[in-house]
């Protein structure tokens, strides 16, 4: 499927960046965050409910919508694409996964170096009302447990991290931080919110150092993530797109494979970094040992 010269070059790659979008999650049965959900929530527009303003107005409704999404995430399993990416890392290759997905499937597949640009649905954080924070003259007191804006009159000094960690995104009333009483929300980037600066910085550093970038199931419509493959191209890295619906990138990258991640990644990633692994002294020793 690929140019033999390209395959030859991929063998010597040592630093790989895999950039993943909604397509690879959809292959595991997870609805796209921007798409409407089924059942109860079919008439709810995600762009109206996954926002700080919606949570401020009606936290319970926003919480319940995310619980429905979390139910889909919990029953989903990593697919052959997720597993192939994790296997590449387990072979000793430097692999950075930068994902727009919030479903934890890369970690469940075994990937350890994952940058979650849009956060993680199954992790919670305090809801910080930016409007209220700007309205008061005094800087807010920060809760030592959750990092939220604390209200000490309701604070419980006996609450500890285990109490906070035990709270999950499940049906029921919106939970509060056991220390300061802040409302808790999913630790994801809602519409109208900024990406975490640390995640963006890590992503750019990975683009700078990578020799190969593979863009998987990403529509490349949302900035700044959409620029990552283009910057990798600019700085001379190999760039491959794997997407059943190729994007504009397909015309400029080194290879565009119009197929699913689960179908393509196991075979493709088996070809990557084979040569560089042979240079590794430990692998040379293992080969020698097996030969004996
Ligand atoms: Zn707190």
Q: What is the pLDDT of residue 42?
A: 80
Q: What is the pLDDT of residue 141?
A: 80
Question: Measured in angstroms, how far is the CA atom of residue 186 from the centroid of ligand 1?
Answer: 14
Domains in the chain, number: 1
Q: Cα dihedral sign for 253, 255, 259, 260? A: negative
Residue 146 lies in a domain: no
Question: Measured in angstroms, how far is the CA atom of residue 148 from the centroid of ligand 1?
Answer: 5
Residue 227 lies in a domain: yes
Spans of the chain, pLDDT less than 70: 1, 36, 131-139, 151-154, 276-292
Question: Measured in angstroms, how far is the CA atom of residue 52 from the centroid of ligand 1?
Answer: 18
Residue 60 lies in a domain: no
Residue 276 lies in a domain: yes
Domain that holds residue 26: 4-41+78-118+194-286
Q: CA-CA distance, 256 to 240, in Å (whole number)?
A: 6
Q: What is the pLDDT of residue 133?
A: 61
Question: CATH number, domain at 226?
Answer: 3.40.50.1220
Q: What is the pLDDT of residue 146?
A: 92
Question: Measured in angstroms, how far is the CA atom of residue 151 from the centroid of ligand 1?
Answer: 9
pTM, 2 dp? 0.89
Q: What is the pLDDT of residue 138?
A: 65
Question: Measured in angstroms, how far is the CA atom of residue 18 from the centroid of ligand 1?
Answer: 35
Residue 263 lies in a domain: yes
Residue 173 lies in a domain: no
Q: What is the pLDDT of residue 222?
A: 83
Residue 65 lies in a domain: no
Concerning whether 118 is annotated as a catalytic residue, the answer is yes
The one catalytic residue in 66, 82, 106, 118 is 118
Residue 172 lies in a domain: no
């Amino acid at each position: 499927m690929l140019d033999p010269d390209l395959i030859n070059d991929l063998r010597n790659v040592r630093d790989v960046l895999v950039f993943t979008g909604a397509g690879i999650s959809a292959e595991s049965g997870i609805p796209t965050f921007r798409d409407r959900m089924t059942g109860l929530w079919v008439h709810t527009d995600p762009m109206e409910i996954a926002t700080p303003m919606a949570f401020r107005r009606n936290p319970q409704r926003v919480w319940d919508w995310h619980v429905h999404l979390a139910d889909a995430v919990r029953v989903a399993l990593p697919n052959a694409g997720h597993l192939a990416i994790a296997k590449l890392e387990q072979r000793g290759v430097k692999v950075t996964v930068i994902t727009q997905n919030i479903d934890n499937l890369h970690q469940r597949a075994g990937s350890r170096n994952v940058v979650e640009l849009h956060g993680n649905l199954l992790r919670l954080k305090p809801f910080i009302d930016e409007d209220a924070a700007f309205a008061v003259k005094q800087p807010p007191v920060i809760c030592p447990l959750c990092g939220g804006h604390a209200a000490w009159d309701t604070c419980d000094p006996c609450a500890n991290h285990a109490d906070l960690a035990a709270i999950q995104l499940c049906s029921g009333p919106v939970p509060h931080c056991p220390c300061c009483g802040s409302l808790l929300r999913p630790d994801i980037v809602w519409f109208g919110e900024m990406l975490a600066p640390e995640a963006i910085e890590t992503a750019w550093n990975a683009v700078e150092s990578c020799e190969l970038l593979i863009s998987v199931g990403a529509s490349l419509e949302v900035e700044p993530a959409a620029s990552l493959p283009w910057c990798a191209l600019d700085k001379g890295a190999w760039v491959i797109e794997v997407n059943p619906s190729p994007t504009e990138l397909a015309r400029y990258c080194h290879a565009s494979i119009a197929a699913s991640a689960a179908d393509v990644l196991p075979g493709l990633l088996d070809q990557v970094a084979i040569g560089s692994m042979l240079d590794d002294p430990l692998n040379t020793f293992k080969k020698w040992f097996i030969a004996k």
